[in-house]
């Protein structure tokens, strides 16, 4: 964004979206505030996250909206719209009628094992959607998990999220940061697994895994200190040890695998009804804190509609856009799809290159066909009250140490959708634009994996498996190596890409014996190999092969 857009208008002015009736502030910081509001036309309760003030990061704010636009999950608070104007920017979010896990832990202490497993699973399902979209949250913590009145949970606040493989600088909340985050290494789903496990530990014990009081102490503890698994219930210690492993390779490689392990351990330890009991416990804890709910425990009313946002004209004259704004908005309205349609419009600021000086336009919302989901569509309705976090170096506080991020290239339609039976809050009628004819692309031929061939060797410290995968190269595939040891009930999974166009892929992978006497590795491919699928190798560290007689 041009600096002129970010600086135009008085930054301390309480700019508000006119199509929302504002109730009260849920939170505020140096870069903006979050407001409880309702959409005037439908009565839908929302949380509006306003960006303004001298600490405002417009590029990062837009990047957050673009990431949210790509995520579709009932376990993530939805993006409704994103609006920019010379006075600031705003994200309109689903309002989750719940409280943060941080507030719940502060008021009630440890949740108990079944509730801890349940709240972890719910928010992990949100992470699964993010990881499948190639997004790493980087700031999973109790303050970014919302627990609804029915005991369900959602993940919020993607303010410092990045694409998988990006670095984005050293950012996160120190008490929950993985060792690789402290080193500024590229983000990976296993980074979120670490933070989620640290949060899980806190739910179980009522305390964070490491108690350092300075950034240096926390950095050393997270990278070098022993994992305090003995403080957790014995049945759940394998989850803690796997999730808080010091290296990403030793952890589950994403939220989906962690959920698999969680369900296996929980079922074995607490029986098949553990999740129902855990959800009931969470609902009971939330019921003890009605004053922390957005509406104080009273049910919210309204329906969800689809909306796009454009900038209105000033003094009967169409708004004029600067050259940069035209590139961003591609005309009057640009549409992002995120559960509901989220409109994006940018106005050229006074004094910007190629723009015409004028009074700041007001944002107006044009409603499309109102499609209200049944109340059960959303178990909870709230954006994070921590809204626009203030950068903080304090290890004890919740605010994240944020970093400036370059936003990914927006994936936006150049034409707004055709309004059908729309009701406009603006005096001027909305133009009707015929939608483009969809192009049907024939499906790519599936990959055929012909065989997996491998062999295993060992040394006194490591077991290594090497081999070859032969395919027809028609599409992408994956080889999965699942390691298990005699010292742990939890598997460790490594993956090898089978790229499209490459018919033969060689692989080699190693695992330390550690305290284990035996290691086993199982080889599987996706899609399944015709020969060699499920090949398994087991070696004993005490055998003469691994420890030859000298």
Q: Which residue, 292, 309, 296, is CA-closest to 92?
A: 309
Burial (Cβ within 10 Å: 0-12, 13-18, ≥19) of residue 480: middle
Q: Which residue, 536, 461, 515, 522, is CA-closest to 492?
A: 522
Which is catalytic among the residues 2, 103, 139, 470?
139
Q: How many CB atoms lie within 10 A of CB 249?
A: 15
How many whole angstroms from its chain centre is CA 176?
Answer: 15
Here the tokens at position 282 are 């969470």
* Beta carbons within 8 Å of 464's beta carbon, 6+ residues apart: 456, 457, 458, 508, 509, 510
Here the tokens at position 509 are 């992978």
Q: Which residue, 544, 80, 509, 34, is CA-closest to 307?
A: 80
E-strand spans in 257-362? 307-311, 334-338, 340-344
**CA–CA separation, 19 vs 26, rounded Å?**
19
Q: Residue 368 in 3-state DSSP?
A: coil
How many whole angstroms from its chain centre is CA 550?
Answer: 53
Q: Residue 448 in 3-state DSSP?
A: coil
Here the tokens at position 319 are 């708004």
For CA atoms 79, 58, 179, 493, the dihedral sign is positive
Conformational region of residue 362, where left means phi above 0, alpha means psi within -120 to 50, and beta covers everything else: beta
**CA–CA separation, 83 vs 49, rounded Å?**
10
Here the tokens at position 171 are 């950012």
* Beta carbons within 8 Å of 122's beta carbon, 6+ residues apart: 75, 152, 153, 154
Measured between its terminal Cα atoms, the distance across the chain in Å is 68
Active site residue 2: no
Q: Which residue, 138, 261, 242, is CA-closest to 197?
A: 242
DSSP 144: G
Burial 336-352 (b: 16+ CB within 10 A, else e): bbbbbbbbbbbbbbbeb
Here the tokens at position 542 are 């005490």
Catalytic residues: 139
């Amino acid at each position: 964004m041009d600096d002129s857009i970010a600086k135009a208008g008085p930054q301390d002015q309480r700019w508000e979206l006119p199509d929302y009736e504002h109730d009260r502030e849920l939170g505020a910081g140096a870069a903006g505030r979050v407001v409880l509001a309702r959409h005037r036309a439908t009565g839908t309760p929302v949380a509006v996250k306003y960006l303004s003030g001298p600490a405002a990061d417009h590029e990062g704010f837009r990047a957050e909206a673009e990431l949210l636009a790509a995520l579709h999950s009932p376990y993530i608070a939805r993006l409704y719209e994103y609006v920019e104007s010379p006075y600031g920017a705003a994200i309109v979010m689903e309002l989750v009628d719940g409280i943060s896990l941080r507030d719940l832990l502060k008021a009630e202490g440890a949740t108990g094992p079944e509730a801890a497993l349940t709240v972890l699973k719910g928010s992990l399902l949100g992470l699964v959607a993010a990881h499948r979209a190639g997004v790493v949250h980087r700031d999973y913590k109790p303050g970014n998990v919302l627990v609804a009145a029915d005991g369900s949970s959602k993940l919020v606040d993607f303010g410092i999220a990045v694409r998988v493989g990006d670095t984005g600088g050293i950012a996160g909340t120190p008490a929950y940061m993985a060792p690789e985050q402290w080193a500024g290494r590229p983000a990976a789903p296993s980074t979120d697994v670490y933070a989620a496990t640290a949060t899980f530990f806190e739910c179980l014990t009522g305390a964070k895994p490491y108690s350092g009081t300075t950034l240096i102490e926390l950095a050393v503890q997270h990278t070098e200190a022993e994992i305090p698994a003995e403080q957790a219930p014995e049945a759940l210690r394998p989850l803690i040890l796997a999730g808080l492993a010091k290296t990403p390779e030793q952890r589950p490689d994403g939220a989906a695998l962690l959920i698999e392990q969680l369900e296996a351990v929980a079922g074995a330890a607490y029986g098949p009804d553990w999740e129902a009991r855990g959800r009931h416990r969470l609902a009971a804890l939330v019921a003890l804190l009605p004053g922390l709910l957005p509406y104080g425990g009273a049910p919210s009313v309204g329906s969800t509609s689809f909306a796009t946002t454009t900038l209105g004209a000033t003094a009967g004259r169409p708004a004029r856009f600067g050259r940069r704004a035209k590139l961003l908005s591609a005309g009057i309205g640009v549409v992002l799809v995120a559960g509901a349609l989220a409109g994006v419009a940018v106005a050229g600021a006074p004094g910007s290159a190629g723009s015409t000086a004028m009074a700041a336009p007001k944002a107006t919302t044009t409603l499309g066909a109102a499609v209200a989901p049944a109340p059960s569509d959303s178990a909870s309705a709230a954006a994070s009250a921590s809204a626009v976090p203030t950068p903080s170096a304090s290890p004890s506080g919740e605010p994240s140490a944020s970093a400036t991020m370059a936003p990914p290239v927006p994936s936006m339609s150049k034409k707004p959708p055709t309004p059908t039976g729309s009701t406009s809050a603006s005096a001027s009628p909305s133009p009707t634009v015929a939608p483009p004819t969809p192009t049907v692309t024939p499906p790519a031929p599936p990959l055929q994996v012909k065989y997996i061939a491998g062999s295993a060797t060992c040394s006194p410290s490591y077991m290594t498996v090497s081999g070859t995968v032969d395919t027809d190269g028609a599409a992408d595939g994956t080889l999965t190596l699942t390691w298990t040891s005699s010292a742990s009930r939890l598997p460790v999974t490594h993956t090898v890409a089978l790229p499209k166009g490459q018919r033969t892929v060689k692989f080699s992978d190693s695992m330390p014996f550690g305290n284990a006497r035996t290691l086993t590795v199982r080889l599987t491919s996706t899609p399944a190999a015709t020969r060699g699928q499920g090949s398994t190798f087991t070696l004993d560290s005490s055998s003469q092969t691994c420890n030859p007689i000298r």
